[in-house]
Chain A
Amino acid sequence: MGIVLIGVGKRYGAVGALENVSLTIEDGSLTALLGPSGSGKSTLLRVIAGLERPDAGEVRIAGRDVTALPPQRRGVGFVFQHYAAFKHMTVRDNVGFGLRIRGRPKAEIRARVAELLALVQLEGMAGRYPSQLSGGQRQRMALARALAIEPRVLLLDEPFGALDARVREELREWLRRLHERTAVTTVLVTHDQEEAMEVASTIVVMHHGRVEQLGAPVEVYQTPSSPFVMGFVGRVNRLGETFIRPHEVGLRTAGAGDGPGAEVERVVHLGAEARVELTLDDGRGLWAQVPAAEVERLALRQGTRVGVDLSRGRAFAGTAGGG
């Protein structure tokens, strides 16, 4: 059930946007497609919606092969980064559009629109035009419009990308609660790892048109499958074959235990934590993120000599292709 993709490929001329993508998105889940721009995540979402035709492979929604179906008949709700509001229609007509197309009775449309406007907290805005709404309100209207047709899956393409940081924060939280209430299978495309971690129950990391890793946020963060994933979902130091997150770097008094020695270049206080920039004895640079108390305990300042514990770092098979 949910969404199943089998061997999906898509090319634009010589450029491969999707390469043999196979993926199962659980029914009722909230999944984030995470990746840098050009990784194919938006193309994949558009393929699921039927807005792009794949060159190869199969798309199944709720057990049905929809590969050949146009978007009109897939039962998907799609939300665009730039809202795609119908500018010449009121909020009421925007939200009721899908029901009007389906020829539902006027009274039913009115009732359903009122219900949806309450759900997205836009009561009292029904008579306004999109240009009279803020960005966040427009995007909530777009969500209500997509939900009006009771879609089997809800697809969101960078839905908060055009909003400022505070509104984005609010809407993420709001989306998560909305998903808990409606339990519609939801796929969110984002390039923001924090957003993916915060909102999604499953993260699909994409790179060069392929799925790099699929897993729960904590899995993807703690056991990344490749240097690319490790670098994309968090900060990372690379020392030859070893990859280590700054907060996994251990610092101790110089000479205690084994591991290389280093000299502190700079200490940046970030409140509860501090960022310590180091130069290892072999000349390579490294930075560590440590609790502020550690800075006190080891009396870290420019020029302090310390011992470095890199035992929590990890190596990948064939690390030639770092992110």
Chain B
Amino acid sequence: MKTITYKLISGILAITVLCGCNRQNRTAGGGKQVVVGVSLLNLSSEFIVMLNEAMEAKAGELGVKLVVNDAQRSAERQIQQVEGFIAQQVDVIILNPCEVDASSPAVDKALAAGIPIINLNSATQSTPTAFVGSHDEESARIAMEYIAKRLNGQGNVVMMQGFMGQAAQLKRDQGAREILAKNPGINLLACQSAEWDRAKAMSLMENWIQSHGTKINAVFAQNDEMGMGALLALERGKLKDKVILISIDAIADALQAVKSGRLDATVFQDAKGQGATAVEVAAKIARKEPYERETFIPFQLVTKENAGNPR
């Protein structure tokens, strides 16, 4: 019995030492390789997939090792993942928060453990070491301003909201309503959630066409998925040439639709810029170089004129 225990303990010790050596050996171009833990909001969303690809590309370029976890929209899972990164003693954590409040404990825990943490794409209540992303309100402001301009400040608009209560929905609502308040001639005819979903957006648009018909002058969908759904319903209702339609994110489908003149405009959120910058900042922090505490990547209106090359 005793010998087995000894063997076990020495075995475990040996493995630990080996692992330890292994850890020391992880070198790339001189210094110790930087390991960055990444917790992403949801890898089944196209925008987050693009963000991830940009990060992987930049990490390869800088010789940084990424450990990517998918929180699948759950703030609770996200906190567990950050706890895992703390246990693994990664050099820096990049957090793509699920929720404003509910993901805050992840930031607090990392900071308490002395591991720098970068918030990517959206904010949390707690202040991280650095922030890379965009003001979500701005995207909706750009969209609503576009509508106001196209309608010359007069007309009826309907707004399709995202999943109620999520940060992106709340902020895009806020941004849109700021512009509506400045344009008293623009009337918000109806406002409902299609839960970021193309099929739901299509049904909702069909119902709106039914209840408001030709009174609708413009549609603002809070993401491109819903924008594409609304577009299909408007086209089937033979109303597209009478209605202005804009959505946000500039996913591949939407860009294609803008190029071919079906969708009036989308607002480009720079996944590549955001992902690459976050990894750059992480590498700088890990190598104790000076870094930007806040980097705001601007949104950009994409219409038929510039649809070929939004950066």
A-B interaction: no
A contact residues vs B (CB 8 Å cutoff): none
